[in-house]
Amino acid sequence: MDGQQHKQELNWGWLVGFALLLIILLFAFGDILTGIVGILVLSIVFAGYHNEQASHNHH
């Protein structure tokens, strides 16, 4: 159980870091990148959330 909790923590840290990186990129570049990145972020976050829910349900 401990290992699972640590993994979850790591995932959230990763997401936050990734989000910050994307925000910097958005400021550096423009609207096209914003749209692409926005879709990417949403799909990644949704996939991560879906996987988390699936693993919880599997248990």
- As given in the structure block, the two tokens for residue 29 are 């570049």
Going from N- to C-terminal start, the domains of the chain cover 2-58
3-state class of 2 per DSSP? helix
pLDDT value at 1 more than 60: no
Q: What is the largest CA-CA distance in the chain?
A: 43
Looking at residue 37, the DSSP 8-state letter turns out to be H
N-to-C CA span, the chain: 12
- As given in the structure block, the two tokens for residue 55 are 């693993």
Higher pLDDT, 28 or 8: 28
CB-based contact 37:26 (threshold 8 Å) = yes
**20-42 per-position pLDDT tens digit:** 887 887 777 777 777 888 888 88
Higher pLDDT, 44 or 30: 44
Global pTM exceeds 0.95: no
pLDDT class of 10 with cuts at 50, 70, 90 = low
